[in-house]
């Protein structure tokens, strides 16, 4: 008989799903976040995969996780610590216990907790009886067993049972969070629409999990997270990588240019290429090149021929593309380079996040080779910054590097869907055929952008290339004074972009005690930490930079208006070093983390309070 549980209202909750790579935790996580979006919660998600596809079952290396943070109040990060942990085996438990709040609810698949599994996960004693879980609400559910018996009656095989046990977990959570199970069923129907048999099996298991949770004594309290405040309109849940691809597509539509993406698969940027490859319906061209170099070079060719051309990669790929980016600088063609940063150097931590490509993006080429560098700061605003990168490249005729990172790329958030009519125009400096007095390096006087004459146009035949060219005429020139002129023009062209980008905004008072400085993907954690301290009455503000080169024109003003300035970044101090080179008069404190992990709000608050105690 169904019991009547107590319902507790929560402002926010963090749930972590963890299991073997093959346990379907990513799917359950997406299902739960979509359901939350459906009922109107704000949310942020973050998957946490191993770099191996299917590491040995039951080992720590094979644990795959998915964290969802849902809220009635504003949600800006996937959350520091989990309130609910789902652990499908001992390895998942062991790998995640340090990220779980004291007192949290832990749901385990008891069928996977035997002596052999403890040892495989690296436990010496049974974690269920060694006292390590004291103070937590542990729900030991026979998930594997009950999934099998649910499906047995309908003659499903063991493989199907293995693949659907994640729905048992989902069912339990639907009950626990008072969710309408029909939303979960709709998700299943759309996800498995090509295999009706699997739809049926998944739905049966989902319901079995729901009924189980309703029946057992151990679960007496359920939770309700009400719809988010101040959220109205049409939303979707979007990852940084998809948002990046869509931002480029939007820019192609706005500028009337064909989109060309020349890329080589690399973690964690591959989804940009994949997403674009499935956008042929919008005319997108993807070229999966034979290597990183061919990726960027093909994009330069496409740019020369008149496309909005881009290449997407991660740090190691950016290293390989360096020479070619220099070619785009000297030939002054519009090019967007997306760098989804990961832990480095070399192969480093392919699936983990880091911000250590900043100096490479700024300086990683031979010669005086300035690029516009911008950075996205949330999964959804990857759309805006990819769009902006394309706009700047097309209008200023120069390469733009957009920095994303593993955290933004795979993380997702609820995004208010924009209308295309709300986005700014993009007007590349095209020329009509037979334009009189056309020269390859004849420039627009305001932006210093050269004009974009396209092969096929009558009367504009010209030749460009990697050798230095004479100002205006574009003939090959090794003249010493001309070289200096050209180097200075290319620098000036990038510097002038500062006149076309917004001023740096500050969250909080415009002067005061502490200015927290961040850039790119750390926004969520820095914002939450600063906001919490502001609510405690502390004089603290945040400047989160999206425009790195050039910096917004009011950057110097901002820096001088605070007593302390602390630059927080996921590297050893690259943005701090860059700011010092521009503003040596200001002392900058640093907080640096290089663990392949995003900042936690709690560690930031601790650090900021420490400054005040000095």
Partner 1 sequence: MTISAENQFKLSPEDYKVEEPVKWCAGCGSHAVLTTVRNALPETGVKKENVVFVSGIGCSSRFPYYINTYGFHSLHGRAAPLAAGIKIANPDLSVWIVTGDGDSMAIGGNHFIHIIRRNIDVTLLLFNNKIYGLTKGQYSPTTPKGSVTKTSPEGTIENPFRPGELVMGSQGTFFARVVDTEPKMMKEVFIQAARHKGTSVVEVLSNCVIFNNQVHSEITGKDVRDDNQIYLIHGKPMIFGKNRDKGLIMRNNHLVVVKIGENGITEKDLLIHDALDPRNSTHYNLVRMTLPHFPVAMGIIRSVRSTVYEDLLYEQINTARGSSPVKNMDDLLKSGNVFHINGT
Query: Among 294, 371, 375, 449, which residue interacts with partner 1 (rule: CB under 8 A)?
Result: 294
How far is residue 515's CA from residue 502's CA, in Å, rounded to a whole number? 19
Nearer to partner 1, 106 or 376 (CB): 376
Query: Among 100, 208, 307, 530, which residue interacts with partner 1 (rule: CB under 8 A)?
Result: 307
Compute the least distance from the CB of residue 368 to partner 1, in Å. Answer: 17
Asked if 157 touches partner 1 (CB under 8 A), the answer is no
How far is residue 101's CA from residue 135's CA, in Å, rounded to a whole number? 10
Query: Among 93, 104, 204, 249, which residue interacts with partner 1 (rule: CB under 8 A)?
Result: 249
3-state SS, residue 284: coil
Q: How far is CA 144 from CA 88, 169, 186, 541, in A?
A: 9, 10, 23, 50
Compute the least distance from the CB of residue 488 to partner 1, in Å. Answer: 23
Compute the least distance from the CB of residue 464 to partner 1, in Å. Answer: 6
Query: Among 289, 382, 540, 601, which residue interacts with partner 1 (rule: CB under 8 A)?
Result: 289
Nearer to partner 1, 17 or 235 (CB): 235
Nearer to partner 1, 32 or 168 (CB): 32
Asked if 301 touches partner 1 (CB under 8 A), the answer is yes
- Residues in contact with partner 1, counted by CB under 8 A, come to a total of 75
Residues between 347 and 366 with contacts to partner 1, criterion CB under 8 A: none
Query: Among 122, 196, 227, 424, which residue interacts with partner 1 (rule: CB under 8 A)?
Result: 227
SS (H, E, C) 531-549: HHHHHCCCCEEEEEECEEE
Whether residue 107 contacts residue 139, with contact meaning beta carbons closer than 8 Å, is answered with yes
Residues between 379 and 438 with contacts to partner 1, criterion CB under 8 A: 414, 417-420
Nearer to partner 1, 50 or 295 (CB): 295
The dihedral formed by the CA atoms of 349, 354, 355 and 361, expressed in degrees to the nearest 10: 20
Nearer to partner 1, 307 or 548 (CB): 307
How far is residue 485's CA from residue 463's CA, in Å, rounded to a whole number? 20
Whether residue 205 contacts residue 167, with contact meaning beta carbons closer than 8 Å, is answered with yes
Query: Among 82, 228, 273, 570, which residue interacts with partner 1 (rule: CB under 8 A)?
Result: 228
Query: Among 177, 235, 591, 599, which residue interacts with partner 1 (rule: CB under 8 A)?
Result: 235
Q: Which stretch binds partner 1 (CB under 8 A): 92-100, 234-242, 516-524, 602-610?
A: 234-242
Asked if 293 touches partner 1 (CB under 8 A), the answer is yes
Compute the least distance from the CB of residue 493 to partner 1, in Å. Answer: 20
Asked if 170 touches partner 1 (CB under 8 A), the answer is no
Asked if 261 touches partner 1 (CB under 8 A), the answer is no
Taking CB under 8 A as the rule, which mask of x and - marks residues 551-580 in contact with partner 1? ------------------------------
Say which DSSP state 201 is in. H
In order, the DSSP letters of 491-515 are HHHHHGGGGGSPPPP-BS-SSEEEE
Compute the least distance from the CB of residue 419 to partner 1, in Å. Answer: 7
Handedness of CA 34, 36, 41, 43 (dihedral sign): negative
Please compute Rg for the chain using Cα positions: 26
Q: Are strands 412-416 and 42-48 parallel, antiparallel or unpaired?
A: antiparallel
Whether residue 326 contacts residue 296, with contact meaning beta carbons closer than 8 Å, is answered with no
Query: Among 27, 172, 173, 309, which residue interacts with partner 1 (rule: CB under 8 A)?
Result: 309
How far is residue 564's CA from residue 421's CA, in Å, rounded to a whole number? 42
Nearer to partner 1, 185 or 214 (CB): 185
Compute the least distance from the CB of residue 215 to partner 1, in Å. Answer: 31
Residues between 67 and 96 with contacts to partner 1, criterion CB under 8 A: 72
How far is residue 554's CA from residue 505's CA, in Å, rounded to a whole number? 9
Asked if 234 touches partner 1 (CB under 8 A), the answer is yes
How far is residue 51's CA from residue 45's CA, in Å, rounded to a whole number? 19
Nearer to partner 1, 55 or 305 (CB): 305
Residues between 17 and 56 with contacts to partner 1, criterion CB under 8 A: 34, 37-38, 40
Q: Are strands 221-225 and 259-263 parallel, antiparallel or unpaired?
A: unpaired
Residues between 205 and 224 with contacts to partner 1, criterion CB under 8 A: none
Whether residue 183 contacts residue 33, with contact meaning beta carbons closer than 8 Å, is answered with no
Residues between 453 and 512 with contacts to partner 1, criterion CB under 8 A: 454-467, 475-476
Closest CA relative to residue 286, chosen from 268, 257, 304, 310? 310
Closest CA relative to residue 57, chosen from 109, 21, 29? 21
Whether residue 360 contacts residue 318, with contact meaning beta carbons closer than 8 Å, is answered with yes
Asked if 345 touches partner 1 (CB under 8 A), the answer is no
């Amino acid at each position: 008989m169904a019991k009547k549980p107590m319902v507790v209202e929560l402002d926010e909750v963090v749930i972590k799903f963890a299991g073997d790579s093959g346990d379907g935790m990513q799917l359950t996580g997406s299902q739960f976040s979509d359901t939350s979006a459906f009922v109107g919660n704000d949310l942020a998600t973050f998957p946490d995969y191993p770099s191996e596809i299917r590491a040995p079952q039951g080992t720590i290396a094979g644990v795959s996780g998915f964290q969802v943070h849902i809220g009635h109040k504003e949600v800006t990060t996937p959350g520091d610590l989990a309130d609910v942990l789902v652990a499908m085996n001992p390895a998942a438990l062991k790998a995640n216990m340090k990220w779980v709040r004291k007192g949290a609810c832990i749901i385990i698949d008891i069928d996977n907790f035997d002596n052999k599994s403890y040892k495989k996960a690296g436990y010496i004693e049974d974690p269920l009886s060694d006292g390590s879980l004291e103070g937590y609400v542990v729900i030991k559910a026979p998930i594997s067993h009950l999934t099998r018996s649910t499906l047995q009656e309908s003659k499903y095989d063991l493989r199907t049972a293995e693949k659907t046990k994640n729905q048992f977990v989902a069912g339990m959570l639907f009950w626990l969070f008072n969710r309408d199970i029909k939303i979960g069923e709709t998700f299943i129907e759309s996800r498995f629409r090509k295999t009706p048999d699997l739809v049926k099996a998944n739905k049966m298991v989902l319901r079995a999990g729901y009924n189980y949770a309703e029946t057992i004594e151990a679960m007496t309290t359920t939770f309700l997270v009400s719809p988010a405040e101040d959220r109205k309109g049409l939303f979707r849940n979007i990852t940084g990588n998809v948002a990046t691809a869509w931002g480029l597509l939007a820019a192609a539509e706005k500028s009337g240019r064909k989109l060309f993406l020349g890329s080589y698969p690399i973690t964690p940027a591959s989804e940009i290429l994949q997403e674009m490859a499935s956008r042929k319906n919008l005319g997108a061209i993807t070229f999966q090149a034979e290597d990183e170099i061919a990726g960027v070079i093909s994009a330069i060719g496409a740019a020369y021929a008149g496309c909005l051309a881009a290449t997407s990669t991660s740090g190691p790929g950016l290293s390989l593309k360096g020479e070619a980016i220099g070619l785009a600088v000297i030939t002054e063609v519009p090019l967007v380079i997306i760098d989804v940063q990961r832990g480095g150097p070399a192969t480093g931590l392919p699936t983990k996040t880091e911000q250590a490509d900043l100096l490479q993006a700024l300086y990683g080429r031979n010669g005086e080779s300035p690029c516009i560098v911008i950075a996205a700061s949330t999964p959804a605003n990857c759309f805006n910054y990819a769009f902006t990168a394309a706009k700047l490249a097309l209008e200023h005729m120069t390469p733009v590097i957009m920095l994303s990172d593993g955290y933004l790329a795979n993380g997702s958030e609820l995004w208010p869907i924009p209308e295309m009519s709300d986005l700014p125009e993009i007007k590349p400096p095209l020329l009509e055929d037979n334009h009189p007095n056309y020269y390859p390096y004849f420039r627009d006087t305001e932006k210093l952008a050269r004009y974009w004459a396209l092969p096929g146009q009558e009367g504009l035949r010209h030749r460009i290339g990697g050798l230095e060219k004479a100002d205006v005429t574009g003939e090959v020139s090794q003249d010493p004074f001309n070289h200096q002129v050209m180097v200075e023009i290319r620098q000036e062209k990038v510097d002038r972009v500062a006149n076309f980008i917004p001023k740096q905004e500050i969250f909080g008072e415009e002067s005061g005690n502490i200015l927290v400085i961040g850039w790119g993907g750390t926004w969520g954690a820095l914002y939450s930490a600063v906001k919490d301290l502001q609510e405690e009455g502390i004089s603290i503000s945040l400047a989160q930079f999206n425009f790195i080169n050039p910096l917004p024109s009011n950057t110097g003003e901002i820096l001088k208006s605070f007593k302390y300035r602390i630059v927080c970044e996921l590297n050893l101090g690259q943005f701090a070093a860059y700011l010092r080179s521009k503003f040596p008069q200001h002392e900058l404190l640093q907080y640096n983390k290089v663990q392949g992990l995003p900042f936690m709000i709690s560690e930031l608050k601790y650090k900021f309070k420490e400054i005040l105690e000095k």
